[in-house]
Amino acid sequence: MTFDTVGCSCQKRDHRQIDMEIRSVKGMNDIFEPQIHIWRHIEDQVRKHFESFCYTEIKTPVVESTTLFSRGVGDSTDIVQKEMYTFEDRNGEKLSLRPEGTAPVVRALLEHQLLNQDPIQRLYYWGPMFRYERPQKGRYRQFHQYGVEYFGSEDAWVGAEVIAMVVKLFEKLKLKGLAVRLGSVGCDQCRPSYKTILSESLKSLHAQLCSDCQNRTQKNPLRVFDCKNESCKKLVGQLPRILDHLCQVCGDHFAKLQGALGEFGVSYRVDSGLVRGLDYYMRTVFEVTSQDLGAQDAVGGGGRYDKLSEDLGGKPVPAVGFAGGIERLAMLLESRQTEFQPKLPLYVVMPDDQGVGTCARLVSELRLLGIRADIDYSGRSMKSQMKRADRSGADYVLILGGQEISKKMAVLRNMKTKAQEEIPLETLVDDLKRRLQ
């Protein structure tokens, strides 16, 4: 089975530690301690926050039909043109690793007729996505996203609530230097005439644009606003903006959205060049950025996509959503990672092997009570075990060997004050529960 990506080329990798064939794939990373504790904290906060707004979780497959993304995300997007991991299975069906989360959620909504159960659906997701692009800090080939999708209302208040919900999540995570960029990309009534005006304006700039933007002017001229090329950014600053060409309905919707954000206490900046990178957006688009992320400053973004259900063969379903990158959030929380590391209440040290059985039973009983406890079965010296216990950051060390068992007493040491005391074995579990729970 062979994966295809546009522009993919094999690259030599060195053999410094392990054989090249079993190294991780470029742009796909292992996540472990201490970073994993930041991820757990983010996931815990995301789940609690979204569920407090009455969103329920949905999990979709990592692999979907390629057609889902070509029809849903858009044939002219960079995602479909350049970045998807696509392959044929043994039956010749063309499949892709999901590059984003919204199209799969809409597919699931339609396939399982969820709107028949309730005309309003609030769903959130969390999981890996895949895009073939140049890896850089905060941007990888396997990356992880969390997102929300609200189905069943086209009212601007819904979009404002989603934006406010996201901002409040970031406030709970204690993120600093955030800004909300807000825009509109119009609808099927006003966008075609604006595209014509934009295409005419682009003709005089065609030779100065990068090759990608030259291609975009033919397929979807709105995409030029999303170009990361610095020279193109300067050129598109001269172009007419869609906010000056919205129809009455879209203009009223955008005004209502801004008023609703004011009621929610959300500060924002109107950005007439904000278009987002996916074709399914209409009317509302927004991004949340952080000044602490450098050039790739988006923490997440979203917008309204009332036509996506129809594009995938379903009935019209108004919808609005948001997605954010977990790697980006983890970067912003990295300086606080010690806050998220789990505390170790107890480390059990065995001076000799006479206490192994007693210590093993004790640790197991405490763990089953929900008390985190560690023990070293490797037979190291007591000095080595004490050093390891100190490095672990344990609050207490319990010393229990043959001598302690013969006296029917265990020694408990407070690692902060260094004070020690003896505790009778017959009351040891109850005493530790009282101190540690």
Structural domain boundaries of the chain? 20-190+246-337, 343-436
Q: For 282-333, give the DSSP string.
A: EEEEEEEEETTSTTS-EEEEEEE-TTHHHHTTS----EEEEEEEHHHHHHHH
Q: What share of the chain is helix, strand, coil (3-state, %, to 5)?
A: 45, 20, 35
The secondary structure element, H or E, covering residue 387 is helix 382-392
Instruction: Specify the pairing of strand 269-270 against strand 178-184.
Output: parallel
User: Prior bond to 128 cis, omega within 30?
Assistant: no
Q: In what order do the strands lie in the sheet with 282-290?
A: 56-57, 121-130, 142-151, 319-325, 298-304, 282-290, 178-184, 269-270
Confidence at residue 18, expressed as pLDDT on a 0 to 100 scale: 63
The pLDDT tens digits of the residues spanning 329-344 come to 999 999 888 889 899 9
Q: Pick 20-190+246-337's CATH classification: 3.30.2130.10, 3.90.950.10, 3.50.50.60, 3.30.930.10.
A: 3.30.930.10
Question: How far, in Å, CA of 261 to CA of 248, rounded?
Answer: 20
Strand partners, 286: 182, 302
Supply the pLDDT for residue 2.
44
Please enumerate, as own/partner, the contacts of 412-418 that have beta carbons within 8 Å and a separation of 24 or more: 415/389, 415/390
Q: Which fold has domain 343-436?
A: Rossmann fold (3.40.50)
Q: How far apart are CA 163 and CA 259, in angstroms?
A: 13
Q: What is the pLDDT along the chain (437 residues), one digit of tens a residue?
A: 444 443 333 344 454 566 667 888 898 899 998 899 999 999 999 999 999 999 999 999 999 999 999 888 877 677 888 888 999 999 999 999 999 999 999 999 999 999 999 999 999 999 999 999 888 777 789 999 999 999 999 999 999 999 999 999 999 999 988 999 999 999 989 888 888 888 888 887 877 888 878 877 777 788 788 777 778 888 777 788 889 899 999 999 999 999 999 999 999 999 888 876 677 889 999 999 988 876 678 899 999 999 999 999 999 999 999 999 999 999 999 988 888 989 999 999 999 989 899 999 999 999 999 999 999 999 899 999 999 999 999 999 999 999 999 999 999 999 999 999 999 999 999 999 999 98
